[in-house]
Chain A
């Protein structure tokens, strides 16, 4: 876009780094917001740091591992995921209307937001670029098997695929199938094999060694 190629506005640092117009405008906006007393930059730091260090797919992985090992919790999770996760208390508080959808040998679930990029942030952190980009948002609802091929995943031809388009303030977490060969594993060990993509439905858990 013109925004990125308007060289009149480029600023050349004494090093080799070159600040793009976007970088400069973002920095300018933060200065203005600070000068007007609208935001404390330290509060912005805290938000950034939380997403960089605390909130990520590890949260969701622990929920999945718990569901794999505790049938009562799994039932509660499928009934009302927000309530079940918040009742645990030790993972992360999650917002209302989280819906857990279970993969079975007959049915594979995949989550998309064709309208923007709705995603269960508390469970999975910020969405990856591909989730927010046009190829995934356009194709997941029409050609999910083709999308899965892009991820190196092939499902049996007769598996039903259910794509959940996150068009409202509901959020979806896929409960993947527990891999064979993991009998007797602890929750902690199981959580290690639950990948982010397996909770979106574009991947599967890592296989047991």
Chain B
């Protein structure tokens, strides 16, 4: 939603609690647990949240989106049916999670973020200092190329390694790793002549998002 207008002021909350309601913590924990042992990778989870209807997405809190999305994902994969959540009980046998039951022994493993770097299988096409254009692509499937940079020219600042490609991983089409670059855009290229001239914005862009400019 980078660059959208009209959402109003940012409202910091002094002494904010970790969770505002108990259910938020349970949702966070269930999503992490089922995600980790059920093979729902982070990109598929993000795609499920992005796929909520826009009015629901915009009006729902963060953990509400997590809950609605994991309900959708579990129903689609036959793990938990919506009717079972309606009933509040298991109504049928379902296949076991890929990695089995999530127990206390699994907790330490998920408290450190997984690694998405892979061994490079091809040379990087770009190097720091190169001018690149963010491709004007508009897939309806998952992508991590923000709309506000599409079609704009930026400068490659650093190479971050060879990383799992969310665009395929989200759809269970494999890790398909790609080079990942930090690309810097001038605010006036993104937002026009009235933009704050002291502002530069960077994204981390996978190689397929970029072309030489």
Chain A residues engaging chain B, CB cutoff 8 angstroms: 1, 3, 22-33, 35-40, 42-48, 50-52, 55-56, 93-97, 99, 112, 114-117, 121-122, 125-126, 128-130, 132-145, 147, 150-151, 157-171, 197, 202
Known contacts A141-B148, A144-B196; is A129 also within 8 Å of B13 by CB?
Answer: yes
Contacting residues, chain A, for B60 (C-beta < 8 A): 1
B126 on the A face (CB < 8 A): no
Contacting residues, chain B, for A42 (C-beta < 8 A): 103-104
Contacting residues, chain B, for A128 (C-beta < 8 A): 12-13, 16
Ranked nearest first, the 7 interchain pairs of A and B with the lowest CB-CB distance are A95-B113, A114-B2, A168-B204, A44-B29, A169-B116, A28-B88, A47-B29
Chain B residues engaging chain A, CB cutoff 8 angstroms: 1-5, 7-13, 16, 18-23, 25-30, 32-34, 37-38, 42, 46, 49-50, 55-56, 58-62, 64, 67-68, 70-71, 79-80, 84-90, 94, 96-97, 101-104, 106-107, 110-117, 144-146, 148, 160-161, 163-164, 166, 180, 182, 184, 187, 190-191, 195-196, 198-206
Contacting residues, chain A, for B104 (C-beta < 8 A): 40, 42-43, 46
Q: Which residue of A lies closest to B25 (CB)?
A: A48
Contacting residues, chain B, for A160 (C-beta < 8 A): 198-200
Contacting residues, chain A, for B29 (C-beta < 8 A): 43-45, 47-48
Partner of B2, one of A37, A138, A159: A138
Contact B10–A26 (Cβ < 8 Å): no
Contact B201–A48 (Cβ < 8 Å): no
Beyond A121-B113, A197-B12, 19 additional pairs, beta carbon < 8 A: A1-B60, A22-B23, A24-B88, A27-B88, A30-B30, A47-B107, A48-B19, A96-B113, A96-B115, A96-B117, A125-B18, A132-B62, A134-B1, A140-B2, A142-B191, A158-B198, A161-B196, A161-B199, A202-B10
Partner of B26, one of A35, A44, A122, A142: A44
**Separation in Å of the A9 CB from the closest CB of chain B?**
10
Contact B199–A144 (Cβ < 8 Å): yes
Partner of B67, one of A22, A37, A139, A147: A22
| 13 A-B interface contacts by CB (under 8 A) | A32-B84, A36-B94, A38-B97, A39-B33, A39-B34, A50-B107, A93-B111, A97-B116, A112-B2, A115-B2, A133-B11, A137-B1, A147-B10
Q: Which residue of A lies closest to B90 (CB)?
A: A35
**Separation in Å of the A39 CB from the closest CB of chain B?**
5
Q: Which residue of B lies closest to A112 (CB)?
A: B2
**Separation in Å of the B146 CB from the closest CB of chain A?**
5
Contact A162–B10 (Cβ < 8 Å): no
Contact B199–A47 (Cβ < 8 Å): no
Q: Which of A25, A121, A157 has the most CB of B within 10 A?
A: A25
Contact A115–B146 (Cβ < 8 Å): yes
Known contacts A47-B107, A95-B115, A167-B205; is A52 also within 8 Å of B62 by CB?
Answer: no
Contact A52–B201 (Cβ < 8 Å): no
Partner of B180, one of A43, A157, A162, A170: A170
**Separation in Å of the B193 CB from the closest CB of chain A?**
14
Contact A135–B10 (Cβ < 8 Å): yes
